[in-house]
A and B are shown apart, each in its own frame.
Chain A
Amino acid sequence: MTSFCRSCVPLACLVVATSAGCGPRRVSAPVADAAAALTIREGLASTAAAAVTGGEAAVVGTGWASLKGRFVFAGDPGQPKPLAVDKDTEVCGKSSKLFDRSLRVDTSTKGLADVVVFVRKSSRVKNPVPDAPQMFDQKNCEFLAPVFAARVGQPIDVRNSDPVGHNTNIDGTSFNQLIPAGQGTTYKPDTEMGAPKAVTCNIHPWMKAYVIFRKDGYVAVSSGDGSFAIPDLPAGEPLEFQVWHARATGSGGGVVLERPDLKWNPKGRFVITLQADEVKDLGTLEVPAGSLGT
Chain B
Amino acid sequence: MNTPFAMLRFTLLLAVVVTAVGCGKTPPASFRLNMVQATKTAAPESGMEKPWATWARERQGQVATILEAMYGTPDDPVALAETGLDLAKLKLAAGPVRSDIVGRKNGLYREHCVHCHGISGDGMGPTAAFLNPYPRDYRPGKFKFKGTWRDARPGREDLTRVLHEGIPGSSMPSFALLPPAQVDALVEYVRYLSMRGETELALYTYAEQELGVDETLPTTKEFLVDEILTPIVEKWQGAEDARIPIASVPANVDFTKPGDDPANRESVARGRALFHGDGGCVKCHGVTALGDGQANDYDDWNKVIVEWSKEVTGGLDSTQDDAGRTAWLHAAADVIEGDALRPRTIPPRNLRLGLYRGGRRPVDLYRRLYTGINGAPMPGVGPSGPGGKGSVADAEIWHIVNYIRSLPYEFDGELGADRPMVAKDRF
Residues of chain A touching chain B, judged by Cβ–Cβ distance below 8 Å, are 3-4, 6-7, 10-11, 13-14, 17-18, 21-27, 29-34, 36-41, 43-46, 50, 87, 164-165, 167-169, 172-180, 183, 185-188, 190, 194-195, 202-205, 249-252, 256, 266-267, 293-294
Contact = CB atoms under 8 A, between A and B. Distances in A.
A32 B379 contact: no
B239 interface: no
Contacts of B152: 174
A187 B383 CA distance: 9
Give chain A's interface secondary structure class: loop
A87 B293 CA distance: 9
Contacts of B45: 250-251, 266-267
B8 A44 contact: no
B67 interface: yes
Contact of B151 (A3, A173, A293): A173
Nearest to A203: B283
A7 B64 CA distance: 49
Contact of A183 (B224, B278, B318): B278
A30 to B, nearest CB: 4
A172 B201 CA distance: 13
Nearest to B33: A29
When A and B form their complex, which 8 residue pairs have the shortest distance between CB atoms, in order from nearest? A3-B4, A202-B377, A167-B379, A165-B280, A266-B45, A40-B69, A32-B68, A174-B151
B294 A177 contact: no
B51 interface: no
B61 interface: yes
Interface stretch (B101-109, B169-177, B258-266, B334-342): B334-342
B280 A176 contact: no
A229 B1 CA distance: 94
Contact of A203 (B294, B338, B383): B294
Contact of B7 (A7, A31, A164, A190): A7
Contacts of B224: 40, 44
26 contacts: A14-B15, A17-B18, A17-B19, A25-B338, A27-B331, A29-B339, A30-B57, A32-B30, A32-B64, A37-B65, A44-B70, A45-B80, A167-B280, A172-B151, A175-B384, A176-B379, A180-B278, A185-B390, A190-B385, A194-B209, A195-B209, A205-B297, A251-B44, A252-B41, A267-B45, A294-B318
Interface stretch (B185-193, B215-223, B355-363, B410-418): B215-223
B84 interface: no
Contacts of B113: none
Contact of A44 (B23, B41, B225, B335): B225
Contact of B380 (A41, A173, A178, A251): A178
A26 B341 CA distance: 11
B287 interface: no
B209 A26 contact: no
Contacts of B47: 266
A266 B209 CA distance: 11
Contacts of B293: 203
Contacts of A14: 11, 14-15, 18
Given A6-B8, A23-B126, A40 B219 contact: yes
Given A10-B15, A31-B61, A41 B69 contact: yes
Given A23-B126, A31-B30, A180-B277, A205 B65 contact: no
B132 interface: no
A31 to B, nearest CB: 6
A13 B208 CA distance: 48
B366 to A, nearest CB: 15
B80 A44 contact: yes
A158 B65 CA distance: 44
B352 interface: no
